[in-house]
Amino acid sequence: MAVLQYFLISVTWLGFVLGGGAERFDCYVCSYTLSSDPSITYECVNATIPTPAKVSCTAPYMCITKAVFNSDRTQVRSVDRNCLPPADFCSGETCCDTNGVYPSCRHICRADMCNNRTAETWLRPKPGPFDGGKGSATSQFTKLHIVFIHLSVFVVALLLL
């Protein structure tokens, strides 16, 4: 009986070694939740943690970065980075779920420390005061620049009169 157990353990170990075993990798671990002081643990949002914590992960689990936003996706409400089992609604490496009150986006991967994507990349630009609440800072600057040029031309015309 002991010989049989030894044989089975040896065959199992040999199969594990020759087969490469389960895929292993490390993942970043941190969390952020919007609070009265939004700067607390914000380094988890933009992946700038000076000495990041990590956890060992084994397939089929995956490294994940999940972010939850306000309804118009202009502010991060929470971020979680961890090693978790695969979820159903995500069919690609990165996916967003815009249904519901709080939209969320996820990035999943299976490689060492691959969940380092900044959650700020999923934010939408905040509306600006010069474009009726739509557009980017660049278009706001351009419109302000045009107003300045028109004003300059008007002043020069007055001086020539």
Note the pLDDT of residue 135. 47
List, in sequence order, the alpha helices (H) in the chain.
Answer: 2-18, 137-160
CA distance 26 to 24: 7
Sheet holding 53-58, edge to edge: 53-58, 24-33, 76-84, 62-69, 104-109, 94-97
For 55-96, what is each residue's pLDDT tens digit?
A: 999 999 999 999 999 999 999 999 999 999 987 656 567 888
Note the pLDDT of residue 129. 64
Note the pLDDT of residue 155. 64
Task: For the full predicted model, state whether its pTM sits above 0.75.
Answer: no
CA distances from 12 to 6, 21, 23, 59 (A): 10, 11, 17, 19
Identify which of 121, 110, 93 has the alpha carbon closest to the alpha carbon of residue 25.
110
- Average pLDDT across the chain, whole number: 77
